[in-house]
Amino acid sequence: MIDVIDFGLTRDGENVQLYTLRNKNGLTAKITNYGGILTSFTLPLPNEEREIVLGFDSLEEYTNEEYLKNYPYFGALIGRFGNRINKGLVTLDEKEIQLPCNHGIHHLHGGNIGFDRKVWKAEIGNNTDLKLTYLSPDGEENFPGNLNTEVIYKLTDDNELQIHYKAVTDKTTPVNLTQHAYFNLSDNFESILDHQLQIDTEFILETDDLLIPSGKIYNIKNTLFDFRAKKQIDRDIEDIENYDDCFAFGKSTETPRKVAELSDKNGEVTMEVATTFPGLQVYTGKYIEAGKFGSFSGVALEAQGYPDAPNHANFQQGWLQPGEVYQHQTNYKLIF
């Protein structure tokens, strides 16, 4: 079941809606067609309706200058290319393409105005699926090709929020789509450091201090980055300071496989993450500073292709060719 209400006007006067998805068990997910943002995800517990994502109640809170100044991309769809591209440079047919460098000297999350700040066309299918579409024109943020993008949100009666991605292009172009929700499964938004996290891999991408991959896959077995056995996030945080790493699972898969599990301190609520993507960017939110939300108030679990993939042939997934279909799926399943 999906309800829709007006959510406000953009500065350009475009009308934006908020869509509420519900399942038979009382879960609700609220999504706006501005940036495809997941603004709210609540589940019914015996004594409360618990909110588990960081978000706001109005469009203005997502568009004001103060929020954008230290922009955390709360709950947004990210594209045309999520994560980082080294110095914003990619090479196609022996020619360099300079993408915007909006994060110091590097490109981040699609550039100055990425998919997270676009108004998507929304359609409701079978009163259960919210389909968002966006045509990114040739040359937008200096990316080549017209990219037709489709994202479908679906909330199932198995308490699973599914996100289905699809894209096609008429010119070869870098593509890496993801969803940038921050989760906090506790009964407050003070900190996720007491959450328990498990990640089903012993590999991450080796990166420099600015989180640009070297191209090497680093074995983290028995290191501070090893989450194969579930552990409290803050166990090694004094030494790590903040996790912001792409955990690597190898090749993409045709159907989603479980890659991670997050639980609140008491194990009252657990969320399983399953995806077809080869990577999971885990960001523990040290630098969050947005309204009522502060440092470590949420953890982002962003299933995606590898960052800077267009510059590393061994990473795959960096380029989309005409005639190919980019297709991925990520599921967030709640157990409570």
pTM across the whole model: 0.97
pLDDT score of 127? 85
Q: Which fold has domain 2-335?
A: Beta-galactosidase; Chain A, domain 5 (2.70.98)
**pLDDT 10s per residue in the chain (336 long)?**
999 999 999 999 999 999 999 999 999 999 999 999 999 999 999 999 999 999 999 999 999 999 999 999 999 999 999 999 999 999 999 999 999 999 999 999 999 999 999 999 999 998 889 999 999 999 999 999 999 999 999 999 999 999 999 999 999 999 999 999 999 999 999 999 999 999 999 999 999 999 999 999 999 999 999 999 999 999 999 999 999 999 999 999 999 999 999 999 999 999 999 999 999 999 999 999 999 999 999 999 999 999 999 999 999 779 999 999 999 999 999 999
Q: Rounded to an integer, what distance in angstroms lies between the CA atom of residue 250 and that of residue 279?
A: 8
pLDDT score of 316? 79
Going by the annotation, the residues of the binding site for beta-D-galactose are 83-84, 180-182, 244
- Strands across the sheet with 326-335, in order? 121-125, 129-136, 147-155, 160-169, 326-335, 270-275, 257-263, 196-199, 231-232
User: Rg (Cα) of the chain, in Å, rounded?
Assistant: 19
Long-range contacts of 217-223 (CB under 8 A, 24+ apart): 217/248
Element housing 147 (H / E): strand 147-155
Q: Rounded to an integer, what distance in angstroms lies between the CA atom of residue 7 and that of residue 37?
A: 12
Residues assigned a catalytic role: 180, 302
pLDDT score of 161? 98
Q: In sequence order, what are the residues at sequence separation of 6 or more whose Cβ sits closer than 8 angstroms to the Cβ of residue 323?
A: none
